[in-house]
Amino acid sequence: MAGAVHVAFAQIPADTAFVFTQTDYLSWVKDRHPAARQALLLLQQAENAELAARGGFDPKLYSDIQQKSFDGKTYYTISESGVKIPTWYGLELKGAYLSAGGINLNPEGKLPDAGQAVLGINATLLRGLLIDERRAALQQAKLMAAMNDAQRRQILNDLLLDAATTYWNWVAAYNEMRILEQALQIAQNRQRGIVESFLQGDKPAVDSLEAFIQIQTRQYELSDARLAYRNATLQLSNFTWDDSGNPLALSNNWRPPTAAELPSGMPLPPLDELQTQLAQRHPALRLYETKIAQLDISRRLAAEQLKPQLDVSYNLLGDGARFGAYRKDDSSDLQNLLFQNYKWQVTFGFPLLLRKERGKLEEVKVKIADAGLGLQQKQLELRNKLESYFNDVQNAQQQIALYNEMTANYQRLLDAELRKFDLGESSIFLINTREQKLIEAQLKLAKLKTTLPKLRLGVDWAAGGDML
């Protein structure tokens, strides 16, 4: 990868390097990985969508000017300028100023010489009274924030689970390499001792040959283990990035934990508690639930279209900027103000067959049913996956306890065989057989101890908890 810091894959001494723990690693991934940074953009996206939806309720300035001139004569000049203020409950307030003049002005368009101020209100009484496009857009934008947050958590949890799986594969490869390195060193020391005994006439030549074959076998196994460790380290570097967004590989100052440093067990909350957490917090379920909530808003909006349209507007007209001669002690002037100088309008409409409206409503209902079935399926899948991970963790802990005892017993058998060999009552073949069983048990134990944390993280992932 361009710009990456490459790792030298020499053996890392366990007593000189710092342990690169899972917490350190996942914290690094969470803070710097491009996918984690992209997930944060979802929150900004939701904020921008809500801001745009709130714009549907912003006051609006407007101005409309018309003029006709022909043959050197100004037929008319008409202008209207003002502000419209939409409100949440389907009401729209209006304030405007009108002026008109000209030799051929339509009589109904004539205004006072000083122009005319207008205060008006538009009301939706049937269709759009409970919900309209603007209110639906804002409600869905608010739900989008919850949806994007759930999506962000899901992306982050999936990323951290993949990263943790890669991390523990790296730890497993490292521990297998260390065990085989120690096994090779033991075989080499034993072969030197046998050769020396052969030269002194205490051991037959075939023992030195068998010891040498054992060295070759372990060199071959170690070669595969070192290759696996190099490849696992390369896989690990796919998740490590620096603050500038450049790929970054680990230096030799860091090493994985050894099997001896890993716990043999990990506490688990009760399964019913995890299932409750799954139902309440899992981001995949939150996505479905939020989607259903958004569709329900669309359903309400579609159902609203089945009502007739009935819009009423009332405009109070002034003489210039003066609205009558209203005085607090003269109610007749108030009546003149409201019911003499005014303009009103009623708009009614109703499709006779409502095919478009009914079709839209049924379409949304089908989508809600589809999302509900998807939610049920996802709930079942996640519950089964959670229980599977839970059972795997319990089984792995039992197997680790068993292999701890088996490894100790194999070590006792090998120690006894070595004592018999020193007394001349055993052979290199038996020692190699005992030792191979011990190595296999050590490798199996190391694999189990690196598998357990992966399974434990799987429990958290399936339950929908935060991975870090």
- Full DSSP string of 32-97: H-HHHHHHHHHHHHHHHHHHHHHGGGS-EEEEEEEEEEETTEEEEEEEEEEEEEE-TTSEEEEEEE
If asked whether residues 202 and 241 sit together in one domain, one would say: yes
Distance of alpha carbon 165 from alpha carbon 171, whole angstroms? 10
Provide the domain count of the chain. 2
Helix/strand/coil percent split, the chain, to 5: 60, 15, 25
Q: Pairing relation of β-strands 116-124 and 254-255?
A: unpaired
Per-residue burial over 395-418, b = 16 or more CB atoms within 10 Å of its CB, e = otherwise: ebbebbeebeebbeebeeebeebb
The CATH code of the domain that includes 141 is 1.20.1600.10
What are 47-63's pLDDT values in tens digits? 999 899 999 899 999 99
If asked whether residues 329 and 447 sit together in one domain, one would say: no
3 belongs to a structural domain: no
If asked whether residues 339 and 449 sit together in one domain, one would say: no
**Which structural domain, as residue segments, surrounds residue 166?**
18-53+135-297+362-463
Percent of the chain with pLDDT over 90: 60
Helix or strand or coil: residue 122? strand
Distance of alpha carbon 358 from alpha carbon 228, whole angstroms? 62
What are 12-57's pLDDT values in tens digits? 344 556 889 999 999 999 998 999 998 989 988 889 998 999 998 9
Q: The tokens of 327 are what?
A: 């005085």
If asked whether residues 200 and 318 sit together in one domain, one would say: no
For residue 254, the cross-strand partners are 18
If asked whether residues 174 and 287 sit together in one domain, one would say: yes
Contact (CB, 8 A) for 410 and 438: yes
Distance of alpha carbon 45 from alpha carbon 289, whole angstroms? 20
Q: The tokens of 155 are what?
A: 């992306």
Predicted confidence (pLDDT) at residue 5 exceeds the cutoff of 90:
no
If asked whether residues 337 and 401 sit together in one domain, one would say: no
If asked whether residues 143 and 84 sit together in one domain, one would say: no
Contact (CB, 8 A) for 306 and 357: yes
Predicted confidence (pLDDT) at residue 344 exceeds the cutoff of 60:
yes
Burial of 294 (0-12, 13-18, 19+ CB in 10 A): buried
If asked whether residues 283 and 227 sit together in one domain, one would say: yes
208 belongs to a structural domain: yes
Q: What local confidence, expressed as pLDDT, does residue 337 receive?
A: 62
278 belongs to a structural domain: yes
Predicted confidence (pLDDT) at residue 108 exceeds the cutoff of 90:
no
Q: What local confidence, expressed as pLDDT, does residue 458 receive?
A: 94
For residue 94, the cross-strand partners are 84, 120
357 belongs to a structural domain: no
If asked whether residues 157 and 234 sit together in one domain, one would say: yes
If asked whether residues 390 and 451 sit together in one domain, one would say: yes
Q: What is the dihedral of CA 205, 210, 215, 221, to 10 degrees?
A: 170
How wide is the angle at C-alpha 467 spanned by C-alphas 238 and 396, nearest 5°?
A: 90
Give residues with Cβ within 8 angstroms of 90, minimum separation 6: 123, 124, 128, 129, 132
The answer to pTM > 0.85 is no
389 belongs to a structural domain: yes
160 belongs to a structural domain: yes
If asked whether residues 74 and 121 sit together in one domain, one would say: yes
Q: Please indicate whether residue 172 or residue 264 has the higher confidence score (pLDDT).
A: 172
405 belongs to a structural domain: yes
Nearest to 461 by CA among 389, 376, 380, 379: 389
245 belongs to a structural domain: yes
Please give the distance of CA 321 from its chain centroid, rounded to a whole number: 57
If asked whether residues 149 and 212 sit together in one domain, one would say: yes
Contact (CB, 8 A) for 267 and 453: no
What are 370-426's pLDDT values in tens digits? 999 999 999 999 999 999 999 999 999 999 999 999 999 999 999 999 899 888 888
